[in-house]
Every structure is written in structure tokens, then in C-alpha cells.
Structure 1
Amino acid sequence: MSQSGNRQPVWVMTTLLLAGAALRLFGLNNLSPPGITHDEVANWLIDRSILAGEHAIYFTRAYGHEAGFHYLQSGLVALLGDNILALRLPAAFCGLLGMAVTFALSRKLFGKNVALMAAGLLAVLFWPVFYGRLALRAISLPLTSGLSAYFWWQGWEWRGEDTGHSQRRFTLAGFFAGLSLHTYLAARAVPIFYALWLAYLAIFHWRDFKQRWRGIVIFLLMFAAVAAPLIIFLQTNPGAEFRISEVDAPLQALRSGNWQPVLENGLKLLGMFGFVGTPLWREGVSSAPVFEPIVAVLFYIGLLLCLWRWRRPRYAFLLIWLGTAVSPSLVTINAPSHIRSILVLPVLTLIPAIVMHSSGQLSTLFRHLSTRSSRILLLTIFLFYAARTSVLQFQTWPNGGDVPFVWQAAFTEMADYLDGHTDLTAAAIAGWSPSTMDSPTMTLLRQNDDLPLSHFDPQEGTLILPDAEPVVVIRPSDLPLDPVWEKQLQLWGAEIEQDGRFTRYALPKQPAIELANPVDVTFGEEIKLLGYEWVNERALLLVWRVTAVPTASRQQFIHSLAADGSQLADTYRFDAPDPQGIWFPHWQPDDLILQHLTPPALDEATQLRLGWFDPATCTPEPCQNLRTGDGAKFVLLPME
């Protein structure tokens, strides 16, 4: 009988891990999420830089990234290739390992029954499942911090004569605490937690603290040693984390003596477990609380229980962990933020699990809740949350709010269309970021990377027609073409078809375009001006042909000039400088680039100055223009 009891956690935990794996792995490749975000694409770009030999403690691109998760992710990319599955599997693995850590930590603190309840709820709860399906580094923080807590308690509670055993556990606790700082920005709460936790132990449990002082010193030294490279880098590069300044308005208000934003955030964070959740769809189902009413009540009762028993270290541990874990969201905007509070996860389900377990123990008092009915109740809660998470993850969230836009669902459908049409020889893609994120997005989404693609932004009045038969242009249906080019495609007899979230245009071949003013000027041996024409005296049509793929970003300038040659106004098109240094070639040889634009200050202008330059050369030196065949930096177009 005892052997069966010993085996019980093994098969139960195995079942829970399988359930958790099913929710985290099913449809991971674009079922939910319905595509890929720019944040995930940026992660891939960092991974590719690692595989190319660029190594760092902290990557400053994409608003700044700690390096730890990227080395794990780049390993999967090297093994499985450049695809979404390779990017997201590390997050799923971290989520599943986080379940195991929650089980181990909970068992250490409250026994195997509480541990199974906590791990079971964590397996099927929407919050951890959601972040276990995204190619983002945040989910690695609960894993490393949870391991640190587990080994801390192993060292703290060791009662044997072998003090080396305890010290080795404290060493591991310090190692994983330091490693957690290399995962995600919210890990800045980890040293705050340990500072408060050690202060609590020193004040209220001095005798035990004093007996373990060597292990605690070893823990602190290891913590500092592992964290030191990152701390040194951030101290010597104060501008590396500029993203913080964009979201820390409540903290700045607090520093100026205004407590209201932080207090309001505190109420929101307290309420997110049972009342109203995150306001952002990109962090989950907007406004959905973490728990439904039954478990929410158990969670809040668990908090009260921890407060009642705060002098017992394991209960104080939960309170201090929870309080410090939500502090990053407490002092930033858009509270309650699930991603900035993700440090909560190792103990999140442990708190209601304590109350669930206690309800069975109290059955003799209430005399209407038997052990068997307790198990039925727990199984019902588990199945309910598995069903709830399935509905939220695969039905509600993918179609809610701005999720289809942020996760580029239209691009996913466009990639499927291109992969399914092997007869195509080229295509042009309309998007919002043609020179930065659109090209790598399509690389990750497509199975066939041999098809050459050109990218353009129709909001600039631009249309690209590739040199192919047929000529195919596709765009997200909620990103319309310039009306002039929409009408012109119809006049050329284009076949126009809307398919799901994207619209397709097809012409048999590139049309012959004749403008009123033909020109033959090539800039930098890369792009040739074929002609221009004025429409309604205020709009200008330009036609270009790509003669070679640009080797760097190219920006177009148009200056309106007065009769005396002075500059009245200017306008710019195409590749504006990107602060993160991201740029990808997005034109193909022999592409036709059509422009419809309205230059500024036309009422006073007598001619236009038109040319191209490399925006990367503009600081601190003057911009380097692309020269024409005769060495000129620009051409002049008379007003007609």
C-alpha cells in the first residue's frame, strides 16, 4: 500500500505534464497565435546574430534584451531551422519545466498533495499556457527564479551533519537567482525579494539565520558573481534600457510625491486574480481575471491565511514573493500587466492549493465534504480550467481586439497562399514595415524561401510591380492601396480577389507605362528614373526601375525650390533611419516602383530637386547622396 502511495505523485504528475504539454504544443505553429509579432521576429534576429558569432551579455537592439533565453532559443533555431516552431518550443519547454519546479517547491514547503494541486492548476491555467506559446523570453524567468527558491529551501531546511550538502544547495540557489537576471526585465524584482526575505529571517528567525550564515554568505556571493556581468554592462551603458523610461510614469510620479498612480495600480493588481485582468490583448484576453470565481475566492482566502500565519517562514515567503513579483507592474503603465508580473507564476497556484488541501482536512469539522468528494471537486476544477483555457487560447484570444493585427494574421495567410502556388516566379507584398520587419516575417512564415519577394508601403503612395509572369501583388485587406494605383490596376485589367484577410491582384505581365515626361537617369547604379507626370497640377506620378538590389537603406528626398533656387520645403520617402539598425533588402532587380505623391509648397515652387541618399551616413557627417551617371547628386524637375 505504501509503494502505491509513493508511486501516486509520479503517475499523477506525468498526467499533468502531458496535459500541460498538450495545451502548450497543440497548434503552436500559427493556429494560436494566428501569426507572429514583431517582438518574436526581433528575437529571431538576435538569435541569428548569435549564430553568426555575435555574443553579448545584453543585446541593445529591440529595446534591449537580456541574453540568457536567446542562447537557448538560438540553439533550437540552429537545430530546427528558421521557423516559428523553433522559436516557440523553448518557451513551451520553459513552461513545462516551470510546472515541475512549482511541484518540487510546493512539495518542499507543503507536501505532495498541495504540490500536485498547485502543479495541476498551473498546467491548465491560461496565463502560464499563454506565455508558454510565445517566442518571448519572459517565461524563462519563473523557471530560473523558481529553481533558486527550491534550492534555497533545500539548503535552509537541511538538518544533517554534512554542512557541505546545505552549502551546495545555497550555491545552486545563488546561481539560479543570478541567472534569473539574465532572462527578462521583471527579474529586477528578484534581488528585492531576497533582500526583504533575508531581512525577515534575520529579524524574526535570528537563531536559524545565524546557524546558516555560511550558506547565506555563499548564496549572496554566487548571486552577485553570476549577476555581475549584466550589472556592470548596464551601469557602463546607461542608455541600453531606454524602454524603461517609456513605461515608468507611475514610478516617476511616486518619486515626485504623487502616490495616486501607484495606489491605483496596486488595487488593479490585487483585483487581477479574481475581478479584472490585463487591459491589453497582447498580454492575454483583455480584462479576463486570472481565476474564475471559485478559485479566485480560494486565492484570496489563501492570501488571508498567509497574512494570519506570517510568522511562519513558508507563509511569509509566499507573501514576500507575491508582493515583490508584482512590483514591476506596480510602478509602470498598463497595470495589471501579466508579462511584468510573470515572476508570480512559481507560487501563483500554490496559494489556492493550500486552501484546497485544507478543505479536505477540515472535512471532519464541516462533516459534509468527504475525501472522495474533495477529489471529485479538484478534478472538476482541473477539467474546468483545461476547458476554459482551451476556449480562451484557441477561440477567444486569436480573434479578439488587436490580436490579428499584432500577430500579423494576414501575413500568415499570405505566406500560405505563396507556398501553395508553386507556379509563381515573384510577388510584391504590401505591408507596414517593408524595409525592417516584413521581409524577416515572411522568411519565418513561409516554407518556400526561393520565391523572390518585393515589399512596399502603400501608405506612402507606392506600388511595386515585379518583373514576372504573372505579376502578383498581395496586401492585407485592412491596408488599402493608394486610390490612384487601385484604379490603375483595374484599368490594366488586373484580376482582383479577396481571400480571407488579404487581397490579391494579378496581371499577365508588367504593363507598359508611358508618362508625359520620360527620363533616363540612374542613381547609384541601383534605381533608374523612367519618367514623371503631373496629375491635377498638384499630384506627381513617378516611375522607377530597380537595376540592382540596394546594399543598404535608401531614402528619397524631394525639395521644393523657389525661383531663386532656395529650398521652400522637403519631403522624404522609403527607408527612414531605424533606431535599432534593422534593414533588409526588399526590392528585386527589374521591379517597377510607382509613386503617387504631393510635394509640399507647390504654390510657390518653380521646380523640384529629386534624389536618393543613404540615411546611415547622415550622422555626424553630411548625408551621402547616390550619384547619377554624370556624377550629379540630384535631378531637377520643372513644374508644369
Structure 2
Amino acid sequence: MEKTAVSPQKKYLIWMLLVLLTAVCLRLFALTAAPPGLTHDEADHGITALSIVKGARHIYFTIGYGREPLFDYATALLMAVTRPTFLGGRLTAVFFSLIMISGMSAWVRRAFDRQTAVFTAASLAVSFWPVMTARQSLRSITLPALFVLAVYLFWRGLTQSENTISHPKAQAQSKKTTPYFLASGFILGLTFYTYIPARILWLIFPVTVVYAVGQNRDLCRRIGLQTLAMLTTALLTALPLLLYLLRHPEAESRIGQLSQPLRAAASGDYTLLGHNIIEGLSIIAMTGDSYWRYNISGQPLLPLPFAVLFLVGLFLASWWISQGLFVNAKRQKQREKKLRNLRLNKKQMPAASFLAVGWLILGVSPVLVTGAQLSTTQAIGMQPVLYLFPALALRQGIRWLSQQNKQRERWAYAALLLLLAGTAVLTSHRYFQVWANHPDVRVEYETTLVTAMQVLNKSGQGTTTAPTTLHAGISTITPHPAHSPAVAEMTLHNPNVTLSWFNGQNSLLLPSSETSTIVYPGFTPLNPALEPYFETAVLDTSLPMRDTDLDKPLNFYQVDRNQMRQQWGSQFLTDKPVFFAENAQFLGYDVHTPTARPGDTFSIATWWEAKRPFADGVLFTQILGNDNTAIAQADYLDVPSDLWQIGDQFIQLHQITLPADMPPGTYPIIIGLYSCPQNCPAEIPPQPIPTSTGANFYTLPMQLTVTNE
């Protein structure tokens, strides 16, 4: 009985199925536990997606430093049918990662061959960088996923146009390629809604067309108009976002930060840009991103075996590009014969190689400006094509061995499988054991805060009586809305818990409930200067966390509001009630250093009650000179006014260093509130919050005495 041969197409599909199954396993395993918590960036994406589920419809989201919206809309679709948790964002990232692998394989199969496509997809499936980016709820993963689809559709149109040049009905045949160009343009336009590097990656398409026309001038008329139609479609698709950003340049604060090296170079200082270029070029094979949030610090994108193969593949691609430009007709036929023997797409190789190298250059270019730090996200545009070059080297090597000896070819395939399997094992170890458990990573992913939310999620469980509301005050180093509160919103699922936020390093919060819980992590313990105001609190639970954790322990205190208010009433000097508009009431003050010497630190605690939240609040304390101008001051508020719960009371500690040449005498002290939008840039001055008398500040009844004694 004769054996039925398996067709190359079926082999390709079987191998791709195995590759995708491997990719799914590495991306879904323990997805809620690794990463080990949640970054504020991931949480912000989750909050934005939830707002979309609830009806928000924005073309650009200004939360954080500003973000393109496509990832959040995709996450919202998933959240609409699942629980509104951070897992929705991570599953969305996994989905886009699988699209990227599949799309890249589809293009490489057409541009090169099936084996190269499988090798590329397998490398993307098991390598550390693609696995890392696939498991994070960040918008950056959407860029390579959509871009490879645009490349695939563009390539279908380009190659079919080339193949129909000599067709007797060439004009009719060309119409069949137009939908590919238009679809590619539409998806290319969508990439502008994904991540900033899309604004430069699109250049590879017109440049590749110029190269292809240089190879075959008959293509010029055929694909010139189609390419123009493609780019026009992309522009029209991206136009709403581009117009919004032109009208609201302040929405992209991140652009100003990232462009600093270019501005310095424009002024004649190339030091920073030169340093970043050297760093950026080293991320592939030498020294990578040092930021633990997205990488094992310093680990390059490619391990040594893949780095060597990458260089070989890059050399091969560069050689094929040159062959496409500088060969005569006789040598062209010889080259095509060699490529045919290697079972590669002989006509497409130079243009495909050109597109790949150009894609690589444009993809890495943002990192050449910004440097290695955070390069794992900023270079993500080149992620799919980076793994093509090792695949080209492997494909070339295996085919060469097959011509020498079939036995060697089998050994080569066995070695390749061992390389990929070893890479999968190494990636699993480095990601799940090394990276996910590193102390810096657990800090970046706010593991201590997530642990606190897990404790609060269990509050009231197991009781037979109706659950009661728990009001908890959370001390954190980042208490503002887009940071720790965002992480809590995505991890706290107990509807009976209300949260208030403060930074315990310089403030103390008393929630409005009769009894409440105050949570202090290791990073923001109670300031010793505030300890006298916290004497009535009772330590209820102390979680030690891991021995290797940096943010530890995690302490839970029980507070009785009446007892603590009585204590504060005996410690603070009070005057007549002072209201700052309808936002806050000043209740009293306690001067720790009523007498000081020049150069000393003046310390004062002020007592407040939140009446109505308002955006971007800042509390100031100023020491006035003889001309009523401030000679020393402190401006900060560690209980964010955006998140005030009505009735909460808090103490703000201001510690002010006095000038060393401050003359002896007595000095008035004033306090007040103002709103400081966007950190008060020059064009947006602070907005004072007036008192009930119309003044912009309140003068304390006491004065500071400065003496040389």
C-alpha cells in the first residue's frame, strides 16, 4: 500500500498550528499572576476601557501622558462580555500578539517561503521579548499586529501587479489588485490609532515601491496610482486623529519629553543624541533596556545564538537587495536559478529583503533618539521583522546542507527544534522565575498595593449579617488618580469598600466613617513628625510580604473617628472656621518649631476637612517678609484633591528650609489653596481658591520668631 505524501501546504499548516499552540500556552499561562501585579499604565488602559463600556467615545485619551485609543476600544469589546478586570486588557494583548504572529507568517510565506515563515513564527512564539509584550495590557502591541496585516495586503497587491504585467488583459487584471492596496491603506491608517512609532513606519511602503520600480520600470504606471490610493486611504483613515492632535498639541506631553535629544541636537549639542544612538544600536545583541518594568535589566532583545543568526540573515538580505539593483541580465538569470534551487521566490527576494531591512531601520529609529531605556516598547514596531533575519539564516543554512547531504539536513532540523525548544524553556525560566519574582518588578507592578486590595476584597466575607461599608485610607507614594488609585480600581472588586488616598510621608488621613481602616505600606510609612496625631489608632494586621520585597511590611490600622478627632482637637490651635470656597475647611494648625534660626527647618502641620473635590489642588504655606512677599514657602498637597471624599479630614505637614541669611525678627505665616492644571505651565497660571472673605490666603494668628541664639 502506497503512502500518501503530505503536501507542503498541509505541512505548513500543521507546523503553524503547533507554533500557535505553543504561543498560546506561553501567553496564557498564569496570566493573572505574571506580571505579579499591575502597573499604573495597565490600570489606566483598564479604566479607559471601562469608560468606553459606560459610553465614552473619544478619539484620543489624555489620561497619563496621552494615548491612542484603538487598544482601549478593543479591550472594551472584551470587557463588555466579561468581568471588568485587568485580565480583559491582558487577554486583548494576547489576541493582538497572535494576530502579529499569524500575519507575519502569512507575509513571509508569500515573500520568501513556507519554511522561513514557520521559523519566523516559531521564534516570535517562544522568544522573551514577544512573550513579554504579549502579556502586558499596553497599547504598543497593537502596532505590530496591524502593521503586519498592512504589509501582507500591500505585498499581495504589489506582487500580483508585477505578475500581471505581461497578461493580455493587464488593465482588467490590475483592477483585481486595487482592493489589496485599499485594504492595506485602511489598516495602515488604523495603525496611527495604536502607538506613536506608526507615524514613521508608513514610509516603508512608498520607499519599497520606488525600489520595486527600480527593478522593473514597467511597474511604475501599474502601481503608482494604486500606491497613491493606498496612502490617501491611510491618510483619510488617520485624519480625524491627526486633526485632533493638531488642535490639541498639549494632549501629547510625552512627545515633548521624547524629543529632547533632537531639540538639543538642533541647538548644536549632539552629546545626548549620540549617546542614545549608540545605546539604541546595542539593544538587539549587546545591552538592552535597563528598566525592570519591561525587561530583565540589560538583557538584549536577542540571545547570543539568535544574535549571530540575525547578523547572518541581515547580511543575506543586504546581499539580495544589492543583487536586485546591480546585476546584468545574464547574472540575473544565474541568480534566479540559484534562488530557484533554494526554493525561494526568485522575483520577490530583493524587494522583500528591501522591505524587511527598511522596516527594521524605521522600527529601531525611535530608540536611536530616546536611548535604550523603555526600548522594549518604543522599538516594538520592528518586533515581527527582527525575527525574520535569524529565520533567513536558518533557512539558507538548512537548504545548503540539504544539497550536500540529506542526513545532515535531518540533523540540522533536529538542531533547530532543540534551539527553539531550548529558547522556550529559557524564556519560561527568565520570565516566570527570574523576571516576575525580581524585587524591582514587584515594586513596578505595585504588588504590595494589589495585596492590600486582595485583603479588602475579603472584607465582610463569611458573615451572616448584611455587609457593612468599609472606608479605607490608603497611603501610597503615588496617590494621584492615574497611578495607585487606578491600580486599585482595577483590582478592588468589593462594592462595600470605599477608598481615600494620601501619601503618608507628609500627611495623615482620617476617613469620614465612624470607624475606618488605614493602610500603610513600607514605602510610605507614617512620618515620625505625624506620630503624635496617630496615637489612638490600633494596629490590626501586619503582612510581612516576601523577604526579598522592597515595599514591606503592609500594615492595617483600625481607627475610631471620634477618638482621633478629639485627640486632634487637643493638639491643634483652632481659630474661627475658615472656608476655602466650597472645597475645603481649615480647622487648625500645630507649629512644631515656633522659634528657629536662619537655615533651620520650619515645621507646621495644618488640619483640614474636605468639602468638595476639585482638580489639581495644591496647598501652600508661606513665610512673609517685611514687604509681604514670600521669603520661604512649601507648595504641595499629599491628599489629592481630585479624589477627596466629602467629610474626610487630613493633616498636611509642611517643612520649610529657612534662608541662611534670614534676619532675626517675627514673620507672618499664610496658608491657602490653589488649582494647578497641568503642573501650571507658563500659559496656565495657578487658580487661587478664595476664602469666604474673598482673600486668596489666610493669615495664621501666630508668627514665626527667627533668632540667632
- TM-score w.r.t. structure 2 length? 0.80
Partner Cα separation in structure 2 for residue 597 and residue 87 of structure 1: 40
Identify the residue that residue 229 of structure 1 maps to in structure 2.
240
Identify the residue that residue 11 of structure 1 maps to in structure 2.
14
Partner Cα separation in structure 2 for residue 552 and residue 38 of structure 1: 19
Which amino acid in the other structure matches residue 109 of structure 1? A
1:408-431 CA-partner distances (Å, limit 9, x unpaired): 222111111211232772211111
C-alpha contact 1:455 1:587 (8 A) present in aligned 2: no
Q: 2:577 aligns with which of 521, 544, 548?
A: 521
Identify the residue that residue 603 of structure 2 maps to in structure 1.
539
Partner Cα separation in structure 2 for residue 332 and residue 528 of structure 1: 46
C-alpha contact 1:247 1:333 (8 A) present in aligned 2: no
- Deviation, 1:560, is 2.7
* Aligned CA distance change for structure 1 residues 261 and 203 (closer, same or farther; 3 Å): farther
Partner Cα separation in structure 1 for residue 424 and residue 266 of structure 2: 43
- Deviation, 1:195, is 3.2
Identify the residue that residue 285 of structure 2 maps to in structure 1.
274
Identify the residue that residue 504 of structure 1 maps to in structure 2.
555
C-alpha contact 2:144 2:380 (8 A) present in aligned 1: yes
Establish whether residue 443 from structure 1 lines up as the match of residue 499 from structure 2.
no
- Deviation, 1:214, is 4.0
Identify the residue that residue 313 of structure 2 maps to in structure 1.
302
Establish whether residue 357 from structure 1 lines up as the match of residue 395 from structure 2.
yes
Q: 1:413 aligns with which of 430, 445, 451?
A: 451
1:206-238 CA-partner distances (Å, limit 9, x unpaired): 233444334333323323322333334444444
* Aligned CA distance change for structure 1 residues 466 and 220 (closer, same or farther; 3 Å): closer
Identify the residue that residue 363 of structure 2 maps to in structure 1.
325
Q: 1:558 aligns with which of 621, 625, 628?
A: 621
Percent identical across equivalent pairs?
26
- Deviation, 1:365, is 5.2
C-alpha contact 1:472 1:505 (8 A) present in aligned 2: yes
Identify the residue that residue 190 of structure 1 maps to in structure 2.
201
- Deviation, 1:126, is 1.2
Partner Cα separation in structure 1 for residue 698 and residue 134 of structure 2: 53
1:130-176 CA-partner distances (Å, limit 9, x unpaired): 11122211111111111111111111222365332211111112222
* Aligned CA distance change for structure 1 residues 351 and 592 (closer, same or farther; 3 Å): same
Which amino acid in the other structure matches residue 691 of structure 2? R
Identify the residue that residue 116 of structure 2 maps to in structure 1.
114
Identify the residue that residue 299 of structure 2 maps to in structure 1.
288
- Deviation, 1:318, is 1.5
Please give the residue correspondences for 1:33-112 in structure 2 after superposition, counting only pairs within 5 Å. Answer: 33-51=35-53, 53-112=55-114
Please give the residue correspondences for 1:202-213 in structure 2 after superposition, counting only pairs within 5 Å. Answer: 202-213=213-224
Which amino acid in the other structure matches residue 158 of structure 2? W
Structure 1: gaps spanning 5 or more residues: 578-582
* Aligned CA distance change for structure 1 residues 539 and 258 (closer, same or farther; 3 Å): closer
Identify the residue that residue 571 of structure 1 maps to in structure 2.
634
Partner Cα separation in structure 2 for residue 207 and residue 291 of structure 1: 40
Which amino acid in the other structure matches residue 517 of structure 1? L
Which amino acid in the other structure matches residue 550 of structure 1? P
C-alpha contact 2:619 2:635 (8 A) present in aligned 1: yes
* Aligned CA distance change for structure 1 residues 375 and 252 (closer, same or farther; 3 Å): same
- Deviation, 1:622, is 7.6
Identify the residue that residue 155 of structure 2 maps to in structure 1.
153
1:318-344 CA-partner distances (Å, limit 9, x unpaired): 211111211121222336822221111
Establish whether residue 598 from structure 1 lines up as the match of residue 655 from structure 2.
yes
Identify the residue that residue 452 of structure 1 maps to in structure 2.
498
Q: 1:627 aligns with which of 691, 696, 706?
A: 691
Identify the residue that residue 424 of structure 2 maps to in structure 1.
386
- Deviation, 1:123, is 0.8
Partner Cα separation in structure 2 for residue 448 and residue 98 of structure 1: 37
Secondary structure of 1:434's aligned partner: coil
Partner Cα separation in structure 2 for residue 620 and residue 120 of structure 1: 52
C-alpha contact 2:275 2:371 (8 A) present in aligned 1: no
Partner Cα separation in structure 2 for residue 324 and residue 615 of structure 1: 39
Which amino acid in the other structure matches residue 324 of structure 1? L
Identify the residue that residue 472 of structure 2 maps to in structure 1.
427
Partner Cα separation in structure 1 for residue 695 and residue 396 of structure 2: 84
Q: 2:671 aligns with which of 607, 610, 627?
A: 610
User: Which is worse superposed, 478-487 or 85-94?
Assistant: 478-487
Partner Cα separation in structure 2 for residue 237 and residue 565 of structure 1: 39
User: Which is worse superposed, 216-225 or 296-305?
Assistant: 216-225
Identify the residue that residue 580 of structure 1 maps to in structure 2.
none
Identify the residue that residue 132 of structure 2 maps to in structure 1.
130
C-alpha contact 2:502 2:639 (8 A) present in aligned 1: no
C-alpha contact 1:560 1:599 (8 A) present in aligned 2: no
Partner Cα separation in structure 2 for residue 565 and residue 292 of structure 1: 64
Partner Cα separation in structure 1 for residue 587 and residue 116 of structure 2: 74
Which amino acid in the other structure matches residue 543 of structure 1? W
- State the Cα RMSD in Å: 3.3
Partner Cα separation in structure 1 for residue 248 and residue 454 of structure 2: 43
Partner Cα separation in structure 2 for residue 267 and residue 599 of structure 1: 43
* Count of residues in correspondence between the two structures: 631
Establish whether residue 377 from structure 1 lines up as the match of residue 441 from structure 2.
no
- Deviation, 1:444, is 0.9
C-alpha contact 1:613 1:624 (8 A) present in aligned 2: yes
Structure 2: gaps spanning 5 or more residues: 325-349, 462-468, 546-551, 595-601, 705-709
Secondary structure of 2:613's aligned partner: coil
